[in-house]
Amino acid sequence: MLSIFLYVTVVSLLILSITSVIYKRNLIKLVIALNIAESSVNLFFITLAYRPDSTAPIFTLAPALQELRMVLPSPQALILTNIVIGFATTALMLVLAVITYKNNGTLDIRKLKGVEDHD
Amino acid sequence: MTFSVVLSILCAVILITAVLSILFRDLMAAVVSYAVFGLVMTVIYFMLDAPDVAIAEASIGAALTVCIFVIAIRMTRRREE
Amino acid sequence: MTNHIPVLIITLPLIAAFLQPVTGFAGFKLRNLVIITILLVLNGLLFMLVPDVALQGKTIYYTMGASDPSQFTQPGISFPVRIVLKIDSFSLFTGIIVGVVTLTTFLFSTGTVKEDKRKSYFSTLFLLFTAGLMGMSFTNDLFNFFVFLEISSISGAALVAYRTYRKHAPYAGYKYILISTIATTFFLFGVGICYAQYGSFNIQYINSVLAHSYLDKVAMLFIIVAMAMKAGSVPMHMWVPDTYAEAPASISAMLKASGMVTLCAMFRFTFSLFGPSSSGAGKINYETLGWIVIVLGVLSMFIGVTMALIQHDVRRLMAFHAVSQTGYMLLGVGVGIAVFAKGDGGAAFKAFGKMAMVGGIFHIMNNAFYKNLLFLTSGVMERRFGTRNLNGMIGLGHRDTLTTVVFMIGALAIAGIPPFNGFDSKLLIYESVYKFSPVLAIIAMFVSVMTLASFMKVFYSSFMGPRRDDLIVEGAPLTKGTKAGLIILAALIILTGLFPGIIVDGIIEPAVTALTQIR
Amino acid sequence: MNGKIIDLIIKPEIGIVWIPLLLVAVFFVFMVVFHVWGRKFFRNDYNENSDQVKPYNSGNLDEVNYSVKSSNLYWGFKKSMDRYFDIMKKFHDGDLNNYAKWFVIVVAACFLLIGGGLL
């Protein structure tokens, strides 16, 4: 029951972000939308790892329990990687957006869309 | 019981902030909304027993990302056209 | 030492990439020499694996950080727990493509990409790109694949936007990274669905316990469509001309190699990850999946080539041909997939399905070579005339004999004219696809004719005509490294075309066998 | 399987033989023949320094930019397929929104196939 909320959140965030990638026109807004998509995938993995009535995957907490119940540690480790990768992607996209603005004077993709050497 | 109530409220907050950060025409407001999104996400990670991910999300996802967004918006223009 | 080769292949370019700021102090020439040596060593290591892996059919595993890295599972545990690299014939084939393409491309770019002595952005990003592609070829772990995909995407986007002073280059880089991020997000979502059910990221382990439920099919859909988008098949190809046209010429070639690796990964996921397993309850309908791939392929071929015919920007034209050639591979392998699990006990697969797959996979290799060569020659043209517009080019044949000859070789190879390598793989595709459905083979031949027509257009407008020295903006002769890159590729094209039997029997056919092996 | 696949190319039973070295030898023989004897055999009145190397176009007095522009090549083909190319050019105008749109369309179509039980 608990995880239903979370899965619904994940799917609606993904749909929201992909919809805004289709309909939004500002380059920086697209970066925000992709960040939301990444967060939704992160939340998906953390939700997968969650087990009710268990403890964080830290070794010193384990002996306090009667039986060893931890949430799954490996998705959390992977999501740490994904957060960092997402930061790198965001930084690169923002840099490219800023240089695009400097070269073209606009951030609107409809004004940028003309192909120069098109027949 | 309180756990799941709090979690569902936080999920609703996440959805609202995400929608707001898409809808705001003012990019600075959108980024602030995205910062709130990241912070609430941090709380959710912490509630789901992922403290290390929560720390990383708070420092990178909420703080650093918002910083570079603000820098990028200051270097370009603030309003969506 | 020898059992550490798999990890060396990935870590060598990674270490070299982060050594660049240090070696940059030693000067431009020494740094290039170091990189070329490293790429040569990389190729040597890859070819050292050929006798064991391709000819004898062994599979090499490498478990990261284990006491005995060559074991797939550790003693006492029945499932794999660490990141496992796996080298079978198919991933070795992918690795060889990446190795050859990076070596020749770097040789070419030593003479063409201008860089400050102390700065090493280009070479650092280039080596990171190489490391990402190598990792994508060899990894057996889904999340590790995702990490390498992101490495290659980020470094690739930075390289596409390398010439930031140009008006449209940063926007092209933005497009590439946007597409990559969408694709990788959906890929990771599919990986998460797999992990939710089987609790592992290991491709081989997931395949051995796969249940083929509806969720698995959704995961397969996300993964395969995301890979098809990264490989640039119609209708998700619109980023290809925009991106390839603005990148430096050598980076266009690298992006093409990246597309090939993604395509190989897509085929690997189709068979090794979601393929029929021993425990499979409800199976995937392979005929429908094959038809999806075939439809994507035929659309790619036709739309790519017709759009290429009307371009007059040389790089956009070649980028559309990249889309069109991707269609051939999708067609060949799609026919193989469609008859792979048919109810006739594999008779159709033995009769022509395997041949179609051999043709498609062989075409990946050939295409990597000649497309690389064509992109590099387009780089020479662009340098000479200072424009990418074919209307502003004329009479280069009087100046650059070498460029003219290698361009002719590449153009004839891409059109499938006999002594060159495009002919061999295209013939395999035509003959086997004709037995599956004659209409598809006829479309493929028609597309081949249109390919020749559009390359005649490039050849006519840029190499033929009177000598016009007033149009040349940079007349400096090509450096040795540039010439070496072009000559190696042309020699590979001719050799593969003249002796296709050695390559097919030695590398391609084991690769297809390894790909379609049912565990 | 060794040697079986490539039998497509080498078919001794119907008389097609693939001997690559023969091709190379023929190529070199022709090269030698043309190099030694060709100039005399084809045109012995060829002179680089006379007016004969200049292009002759009747009625066109522009001697510098006389050649057919590459965007004018195949104009008949383009003209006859005008309607198709108009649609296609609209798709390839560099609009970022289209990229994600087509991705979503392909995913949705495949979802329909899964829902219909075909995949």
| Beta strands, E only, A12-117 | none
* Least reliable range by pLDDT among B19-28, C100-109, C458-467: C458-467
Interface check for A100 against chain C (CB to CB < 8 A): the answer is yes
**Position A88 pLDDT exceeds 60:** yes
The pLDDT of residue D2 is 43
CB C312 within 8 A of CB C454: no
- Walk me through the domains of chain A, giving residue ranges and CATH numbers: 2-52+70-111 (1.10.287.3510)
What single-letter DSSP state applies at residue C313?
B
Which residue from B3, B53, B75 is facing A79, i.e. has the nearest CB? B53
Instruction: For residue A74, list chain C residues with Cβ-Cβ distance below 8 A.
Output: 201
pLDDT in tens, C193-226: 999 988 889 988 888 888 888 888 899 999 999 9
Among residues C511, C81, C273, the alpha carbon closest in space to that of C72 is found at C81
pLDDT in tens, C245-276: 889 888 999 999 999 999 999 999 988 888 77
Neighbors of chain C with 3 or more C-beta pairs under 8 Å:
A, D
Q: Which tokens is C109 given?
A: 């770019």
Tell me how far apart the alpha carbons of residues C388 and C378 are, in angstroms, rounded to a whole number.
8
pLDDT in tens, A90-114: 999 999 999 999 988 888 888 887 6
Tell me how far apart the alpha carbons of residues C226 and C456 are, in angstroms, rounded to a whole number.
34
**Position C433 pLDDT exceeds 70:** yes
CA distance B43 to chain A (A): 12
The pLDDT of residue A113 is 79
CA distance B66 to chain A (A): 10
Mean predicted confidence (pLDDT) in D15-19 = 64
Mean predicted confidence (pLDDT) in B47-53 = 89
Q: Which of residues 53-72 of A touch B (CB under 8 A)?
A: 54-58, 71
Interface with A, mutate which of C143, C181, C189, C202 (most A CBs under 10 A): C181
Instruction: For residue A22, list chain D residues with Cβ-Cβ distance below 8 A.
Output: 97, 100-101, 104
The pLDDT of residue D17 is 65
Q: What is the ipTM of this complex?
A: 0.92
Instruction: List C-alpha distances in Å: C485 to C255, C258, C375, C430.
Output: 17, 19, 12, 31
**Position A33 pLDDT exceeds 90:** yes
Residue ranges per domain, chain C?
2-516
3-state secondary structure of C80: coil
**Position C179 pLDDT exceeds 50:** yes
CA distance C202 to chain D (A): 24
Q: Which residues of A make CB contacts under 8 Å with D?
A: 18, 21-23, 25, 30, 109-110, 112-115, 118-119
**Position A10 pLDDT exceeds 90:** yes
What single-letter DSSP state applies at residue D36?
I
- pLDDT over 70, % of chain C: 97
pLDDT in tens, D26-58: 889 988 888 787 666 666 677 777 777 666 666
Tell me how far apart the alpha carbons of residues C354 and C340 are, in angstroms, rounded to a whole number.
8
The pLDDT of residue D37 is 75
pLDDT in tens, C1-48: 677 888 899 999 999 999 888 887 887 888 889 999 999 999 999 998
The pLDDT of residue C100 is 93
CB contact under 8 Å between D81 and C306, yes or no, is yes
Q: Which tokens is D13 given?
A: 């039973």
**Position A83 pLDDT exceeds 60:** yes
Q: What is the pLDDT of chain C when averaged over all its residues?
A: 88
Among residues C120, C411, C137, C419, the alpha carbon closest in space to that of C263 is found at C137
Cβ-based burial of C317 (10 A; exposed 0-12, middle 13-18, buried ≥19): buried
pLDDT in tens, C481-518: 899 999 999 999 999 888 888 888 888 888 888 888 76
Instruction: List C-alpha distances in Å: C75 to C59, C66, C71, C174.
Output: 19, 10, 9, 47
Question: For residues C446 and B61, which has the higher predicted lDDT (pLDDT)?
Answer: C446
- In our burial notation (b when 16+ CB lie closer than 10 A, e otherwise), range D39-74 reads eeeeeeeeeeeeeeeeeeeeeeeeeeeebeebbebb
**Which segment, B20-34, C47-61, C110-124, C503-517, is predicted with the most confidence on average?**
B20-34
**Position C279 pLDDT exceeds 80:** no
Interface check for D55 against chain C (CB to CB < 8 A): the answer is yes
Annotate C500-514 with DSSP letters as a single string. HHHHIIIIIHHHHHH
Interface with A, mutate which of C81, C121, C128, C171 (most A CBs under 10 A): C171
pLDDT in tens, D88-115: 888 888 888 888 899 999 999 999 988 8
Instruction: For residue D102, list chain C residues with Cβ-Cβ distance below 8 A.
Output: 235-236, 238
CA distance A60 to chain C (A): 22
Which residue from C196, C199, C389 is facing A117, i.e. has the nearest CB? C389
CB contact under 8 Å between A48 and C195, yes or no, is yes
Computed from CA positions of residues A93, A99, A101, A103, in that sequence, does the dihedral angle turn out positive or negative?
A: negative
Mean predicted confidence (pLDDT) in B10-26 = 93
The pLDDT of residue D1 is 39
**Position D8 pLDDT exceeds 70:** no
The pLDDT of residue A111 is 85
Local confidence band at B21 (pLDDT 50, 70, 90 cut-offs): very high
CB C267 within 8 A of CB C335: no
CB contact under 8 Å between A49 and B50, yes or no, is yes
CB contact under 8 Å between C177 and A115, yes or no, is no
Local confidence band at C278 (pLDDT 50, 70, 90 cut-offs): low
